[in-house]
């Protein structure tokens, strides 16, 4: 197999596809690392595809063809901007599609797959800080087949409090994938 015959932009398609699949199959875990790697792979894949597609075309400002075809500075910038805009639109569409399909998959598994119920307790509230904001995650703790599951779930500040108990429905195949059925009344000690 001669690898030189394979177009180089297939690497970009592979990166974007692998990032999309990572989000599709693993986003239910609510892991910043998994989500970050997925979104980064999609971004790098589409940037690489953009670079390969415009190389040597009038969109590529490094080539003489671009300068000959677009001698006016405004026209040059407009042509480049249009190429970047199209790539950005495709990138955003790719991220939205992967995210939407992952949510649909999760809902489908919890609705039509093999599920079971359990009682989950909010063990703690985690605050994940970024440069410009803070996100809060309620960590649900429940037991599946003798194994204790700790699963963070995004919340708006104040949605959950430590010690609350909920009846949940979880997937037997993916025990970290669950939905809340109802809140249980507080226990009196």
Q: What is the mean pLDDT of residues 4-17?
A: 77
Bridge partner list, 135: 128
pLDDT at residue 170 tops 80: yes
Token representation of residue 163: 């010690």
Question: What percent of the chain has a predicted confidence (pLDDT) above 70?
Answer: 83
Cα separation of 122 and 153, whole Å?
10
Q: In what order do the strands lie in the sheet with 165-171?
A: 147-155, 134-144, 115-129, 165-171, 178-183
Cα separation of 52 and 54, whole Å?
6
Q: Which tens digit of pLDDT belongs to each residue from 36-66?
A: 999 999 999 998 888 777 776 655 555 555 5
The DSSP annotation for 24-91 comes to HHHGGG--HHHHHHHHHHHHHHHHHHHHHHHTTSTT-TTSHHHHHH--SHHHHHHHHHHHHHHHHHHH
Domain limits, the chain: 3-111, 114-183
Question: What percent of the chain has a predicted confidence (pLDDT) above 90?
Answer: 46
Bridge partner list, 119: 167
Cα separation of 4 and 113, whole Å?
45
Q: Tell which CATH architecture fits domain 114-183.
A: Beta Barrel (2.40)
Q: Which tens digit of pLDDT belongs to each residue from 108-143?
A: 999 999 999 999 999 998 888 878 888 888 899 999
Q: Which pLDDT band, with edges at 50, 70 and 90, does 3 fall under?
A: low
Q: In the prediction, which pLDDT does 116 show?
A: 93
- How far CA 40 is from CA of 37, 60, 70, 131, 157, in Å, comes to 5, 24, 33, 18, 27
């Amino acid at each position: 197999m001669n690898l030189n015959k394979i177009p180089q932009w297939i690497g970009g398609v592979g990166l974007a596809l692998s990032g999309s699949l990572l989000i599709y199959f693993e986003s239910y875990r609510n892991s910043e690392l998994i989500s970050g790697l997925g979104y980064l792979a999609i971004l790098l894949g589409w940037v690489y595809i953009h670079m390969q597609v415009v190389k040597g075309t009038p969109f590529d400002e490094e080539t003489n063809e671009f300068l000959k075809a677009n001698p006016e500075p405004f026209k040059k910038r407009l042509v480049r901007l249009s190429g970047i805009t199209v790539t950005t639109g495709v990138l955003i569409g790719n991220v939205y599609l992967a995210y939407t399909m992952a949510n649909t998959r999760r809902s489908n598994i919890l609705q039509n797959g093999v599920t079971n119920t359990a009682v989950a307790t909010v063990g703690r509230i985690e605050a994940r800080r970024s440069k410009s904001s803070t996100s809060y995650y309620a960590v649900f703790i429940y037991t599946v087949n003798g194994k204790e599951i700790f699963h963070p779930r995004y919340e708006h500040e104040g949605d959950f409090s430590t010690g609350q108990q909920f009846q949940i429905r979880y997937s037997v195949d993916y025990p970290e994938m669950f939905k809340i059925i109802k809140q249980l009344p507080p226990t009196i000690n």
